[in-house]
Structure 1
Amino acid sequence: MKRRVVVTGTGVVSPLGNDVETLWDNIKKGSSGIKQLESEEYNEINTKIAGYINDFQGEKYLEAKEIKKYDLFTQYGYAAAMQALDQSKVNLDTVDKDRVGIYIGSGAGGLQTLLHNHKTMLEKGANRVSPFLIPTSINNIASGLVAIKTGFRGPSFSTVSACATSNHAIGEAYLNIAHGYSDAILAGGAEATITPLYFAGFSKMRAMSTENDTPKTASRPFDRNRDGFVMSEGAGVLFLEEYEHAKNRGAPILGEIIGYGSTTDAYHITAPDYQGAVKAMKLAMERAQIQPEDVDYINAHGTSTPAGDISETKAIKEAFGDHAKHLKVSSTKSMTGHLFGAAGGIEAIITLKSMAESIFPPTINLESPDPECDLDYVENKAVKGNNTIALSNGFGFGGHNAVIAFKKA
């Protein structure tokens, strides 16, 4: 018999706050975390806005010498993981550490460490490259550091599937616990990709918004005037736990994961094929043993790209049929921007808070809806309403799709 899996802790680092309650308060208000980039390094790049974080206090979680050593994505991931453990009230002295794992993914890993050392080598020679370059730039090091600090010896690795990374981490952790291999797993993603190189690459793709003079309204999913996504950074990590294990120790239960669907488009490296998203949503519902009519809300992938938002709208309409027009659908990336590998972790947490407080978060900046995007996107202001079962969508370059189904605690 499949075991039930619940969430007992959450943690975030984000452009809208470096703890869950601050993030959620800003989401309910419809605040934007997007700002102009001041550095001259971006002068030749078309996009000069981002959801960057300028108030992260790494010293709350790590010693000064560790902050110097570890890439920013690792620091973000570790901070979010520690918040999740703290909320879960798990006792590190008594929990069976052989049955607790860590799945913290990242799309790019230690990009800033890599770029810094490459510059050092070009300017000062190979002998000046840091001996920590490799172990601090690889994607799995966030999971590795959390394991070292906590002593968790269960399964540990880093998922890498672009923008679907966190959803894959959460989904695979859910399956591991459900089938009895682990009792608990920290799962989510961390990302720190705000660099001129990544901006130049995405700019050449014409994938990012160039609304540089109005950063707070630049991310506008489902709006006819959207012109691309806005890059952000941060981390979102959940502590997943087997229900009886959580209940027996009196843990706070924040919500339940009841299904997970994972598919691949097998179509194009960047362009979406909505049929893959359709199947992922259907699989999540099928495995959750629910009908489309049971779903109240979808936290959409909704990146604010012209093709992506239309594709996801088509997918929702096909997956839900007549019920699609009764669903609440919102893209919280309109407020947070797009955190790539960390997006699904933060959006899972927002979805859990939405269910707990019976509030549907808004899609802000939706002033002129695209005629091809014709669902209820909770335009511009949060609304109250019953939210018992919800999906959180994540779709990544390469055609990777991952959808999580949640149930209210």
Structure 2
Amino acid sequence: MAGHGAEAAVTGIGLITPAGIGVPANWDRLRAAEPAAAPDPGLAGLLVDFACRVQGFDADAELGRRIAWRLDRYVQLALVAAREALADSRLSPRDWDGARVGVVLGNALGGTATYEQQTRTLHEEGPEHVSPMLVPMAAINMVAGQVAMDCGALGPNLVTATACASGTTAIGTARDLLRSGACDVVITGGTEASLTPAIVSGFARMGALSRRTDAPAAASRPFDAGRDGFVIAEGAAALVLERAADARARGARIRARISGYGASADAHHATAPDPQGAGAERAIRAALSDAGVMPDEVDHVNAHGTSTPLNDIIEARVLSRVLGGRAAVTSTKGVTGHCLGAAGAIEAVYTVLAVQEGTIPPTANLDTLDPEVELDVVTKAPRKLSIGAAMSNSFGFGGQNAVLVVTAP
């Protein structure tokens, strides 16, 4: 595998997802294939009343009441993940040149919990009772701004919004900032916290969500013949990226490398994928080319694998077409559900862990592989495998596709 000198070293990771708070808890639950979907009191009475929510998260305890009260949940989750990733990287904001540190985070929907709450306040109590914090709490850009404030990152600062590909787009964009020389360190990843009545109702009315209300834990079942939609989720992931040479020079542990990034548009439909998967294929081939990795060198794929009838079969066909049947495929959404704009970042971290640990977590709830899925999908138990190159796929509404290639250090 001859790379193009564009690799970014992953020196820190942080996770806060329905699978757990912190990287170790996530990795344990993922390997156990224990689904996180459960009835959600906040969704009681809706068409779909279950979700994958981060359990046990106490923003006041994690961030302090003074900070937590003025942040929407989607920012709270991102801050905690970013702090874990920075601690893991052993970089100290006290020592770095902040102007050389960037922040690029993915998010799809912004502070919807704040927006819905304040809209109720407007209608029930009047305009004079709307919070002056509404805009800074709900605006989609604020998560990158708040992370920068938290750690003194003074370089380029932005949020990528490509629906369910947002986190993956963010990581690819962060890698490009390192490649261009604009930054020496980039804190990247994605976040989402939109388990709110209006958003969940919108997805339900669209027909995107599983209706398995009698058995929520079994509802997210990627590539299974009985899948009927995704389970909506929340969460955040953060990665600290540096140029590999810089990381080695400071004696950092390199968990894995982001060696390739590819992106494309279907230009087909607002919510349905291109029936031929042409856009997804372009993104995959672009990422492989960028990394200098041949299709037959890909050992593992963390699939987008949403558990929807259309997505899973189209993605499977594309993977078969591009990679053949060699790569060991998993979808971690069987455990976490679909974390929307955070999904790609969360799954990128899971892919980094798979490469680092030589272990592919199984696809939860996969009882009967759809006969049209001609892939080696890992199920029932983790699979030990030495992974030289892996791929993480994300495909979003609007036909926005993003793919990462992750390689061993």
For the criterion TM > 0.5, the same-fold answer is: yes
Q: Do the aligned residues in 1 keep the contact of 2:361 with 2:378 (CA within 8 Å)? A: yes
Q: Do the aligned residues in 2 keep the contact of 1:109 with 1:139 (CA within 8 Å)? A: yes
Deviates more, 1:395-404 or 1:177-186: 177-186
The 1-side partners of 2:95 and 2:368 are apart by 55
Q: Do the aligned residues in 1 keep the contact of 2:81 with 2:236 (CA within 8 Å)? A: yes
Q: Which residue identity does 1:102 align to in structure 2?
A: V
Is structure 2 residue 67 aligned with structure 1 residue 96?
no
Alignment of 1:106-125 (within 5 A): 106-125=107-126
- SS of structure 2 residue aligned to 1:404: strand
Aligned twin of 1:20: 23
Aligned twin of 2:69: 68
Alignment of 1:4-403 (within 5 A): 4-39=7-42, 41-43=43-45, 45-273=46-274, 274-320=277-323, 324-403=324-403
- SS of structure 2 residue aligned to 1:12: strand
- SS of structure 2 residue aligned to 1:326: coil
Q: Do the aligned residues in 2 keep the contact of 1:2 with 1:179 (CA within 8 Å)? A: no
The 2-side partners of 1:219 and 1:376 are apart by 19
Q: Do the aligned residues in 1 keep the contact of 2:106 with 2:168 (CA within 8 Å)? A: no
Deviates more, 1:274-283 or 1:245-254: 245-254
The 2-side partners of 1:349 and 1:255 are apart by 10
CA apart distance, 1:364: 1.5
CA apart distance, 1:34: 1.0
The 2-side partners of 1:48 and 1:253 are apart by 41
- SS of structure 2 residue aligned to 1:69: coil
When residues 37 and 293 of structure 1 are mapped into structure 2, their CA distance, relative to the original with a 3 A threshold, is same
What TM-score comes out, normalization by structure 2 length?
0.97
Q: Do the aligned residues in 2 keep the contact of 1:76 with 1:190 (CA within 8 Å)? A: yes
The 2-side partners of 1:106 and 1:257 are apart by 20
Q: Which residue identity does 2:235 align to in structure 1?
A: G
Q: Which residue identity does 1:56 align to in structure 2?
A: F
Deviates more, 1:62-71 or 1:299-308: 62-71
The 1-side partners of 2:251 and 2:366 are apart by 42
Q: Which residue identity does 1:381 align to in structure 2?
A: A
Q: Which residue identity does 1:368 align to in structure 2?
A: T
CA apart distance, 1:348: 0.7
Q: Do the aligned residues in 2 keep the contact of 1:71 with 1:137 (CA within 8 Å)? A: yes
The 2-side partners of 1:370 and 1:135 are apart by 45
- SS of structure 1 residue aligned to 2:182: coil
CA apart distance, 1:311: 0.8
The 2-side partners of 1:335 and 1:246 are apart by 32
The 2-side partners of 1:239 and 1:227 are apart by 36
The 1-side partners of 2:340 and 2:194 are apart by 9
CA apart distance, 1:342: 0.5
CA apart distance, 1:63: 2.1
- SS of structure 1 residue aligned to 2:238: strand
The 1-side partners of 2:214 and 2:98 are apart by 50
CA apart distance, 1:251: 1.5
Q: Do the aligned residues in 2 keep the contact of 1:279 with 1:319 (CA within 8 Å)? A: no
What is the Cα-based RMSD across aligned positions, in Å?
1.2
Structure 1 residue ranges without an equivalent (≥5): none
Structure 2 residue ranges without an equivalent (≥5): none
Q: Do the aligned residues in 2 keep the contact of 1:3 with 1:179 (CA within 8 Å)? A: no
The 2-side partners of 1:38 and 1:73 are apart by 19
The 1-side partners of 2:304 and 2:227 are apart by 15
CA apart distance, 1:48: 1.5
User: Sequence identity, in percent?
Assistant: 39
CA apart distance, 1:49: 1.3
When residues 3 and 272 of structure 1 are mapped into structure 2, their CA distance, relative to the original with a 3 A threshold, is closer
* 4+ residue segments displaced more than 4 Å: none
Cα deviations by residue, 1:304-350 (Å, 9 ceiling, x for unpaired): 00000011011112222xxx211101100011100001101110111
Q: Which residue identity does 2:283 align to in structure 1?
A: A
* Matched positions, count: 404
